[in-house]
Amino acid sequence: MDSKTCHFCGHEVSGLYCPVCKARVAPPAPAFEMEESAKRAPAGSRAGLWLVAGVALVALVGVAFLLKSRAGAANGTTAFAELIRNSQQFKTPVTLKASRQQLPRAGGNFALATRDVPAGVASPAVYVLEAQGLIAITTNTSESRIGGDTSLASGKVFQGFVTKSGYLDIQLTERGRQEAAGWEAIEEPYHSAGVGGAQPVAWWRIPVGSHEVVRLGKAGTVKKEIGKETLDVEFFWRWQPNEIGAAFDTTGAAFAALPEKARQSAASIRMSSREEHRGVAHMERYAGDWKLVTVDFTPDKHNLFNSFNPY
């Protein structure tokens, strides 16, 4: 047995009791057990650390996967929005049509009571452009005689009827001629509540603003075709009016400042920069990259057209 020192008298002790002061001396812990305890503690600690590290690693992998998935979805959404925004179709201006010539009145242009022919009308946009100082509208009148001189039994001479015909003349002002450099002159048939026919009518197609992507909606199912994949992506857009278009925006100050007739005409076209409109972009993917093929601004064919046309 190993010797030890008495804590009371300091005498060398080889047993359990001090031979001098007879005090009991506690034996030291076996060296073997102390060494094993010292060996086991670090091993247990290392095992715990490995366990914690493993759990943390699994958690980090899960978080990384989730973040990557979300980032991929976000990047896809951003990519689709950019494809739509940068497409030539989306950059094409929002336009409306304004008549360059008079249009027939509903019910016809004849006043049977007087046999006179009243002037026709202009499309609503023309009256708004007139209020903006871009167009001048005048009504011209001409006279014509129906029937020649006829001698009556009474001896009087009937000289026939004199009728008046009105014509609405639509011309650009000096300022309007400058603005019209960016307008497109077209000819299309006129149809409005049964009025008009197949005969072409002269129009201006006038840029009144641009498209703005508001947000993306739902994406359809990816369809696999020969050599490619296709996908339809829903998006929502708003009209951003330019200087001319501001007068047609029923929510803006320029519209509110219009004269009564012009304001009523603009209201009949129903254009608002605050209203959202649904569109669908058709995508195709080759070799991993999505490309935009077409943009349909009015898939539901309601309320708003890429070219505003009240007729």
Per-residue pLDDT tens over the stretch 192-248: 645 556 678 999 999 999 999 999 998 888 998 888 899 999 999 999 999 999 999
Total of domains in the chain: 2
Q: Domain span at residue 244? A: 80-95+207-308
The answer to whether residue 108 is domain-embedded is yes
pLDDT greater at residue 220 or residue 97: 97
Q: Which two tokens stand for residue 153?
A: 């039994």
134 and 85 in a common domain:
no
Report whether 297 contacts 278 (CB < 8 A).
Answer: no
173 and 138 in a common domain:
yes
Residues with Cβ within 8 Å of 277's Cβ and at least 6 positions away in sequence, in order, are 236, 237, 238, 239, 297, 298, 303, 304
Q: Find, among 283, 303, 301, the residue nearest to 292 by Cα.
A: 283
What integer pLDDT is reported at residue 50 of this predicted model?
Answer: 59
Q: How far apart are the first and last CA of the chain?
A: 117
The answer to whether residue 125 is domain-embedded is yes
What integer pLDDT is reported at residue 119 of this predicted model?
Answer: 81
CA separation for the pair 101, 167 (Å, rounded): 9
281 and 214 in a common domain:
yes
290 and 230 in a common domain:
yes
211 and 164 in a common domain:
no
Tell me the pTM.
0.65
> How would you classify the pairing of strands 94-99 and 195-219?
antiparallel
247 and 109 in a common domain:
no
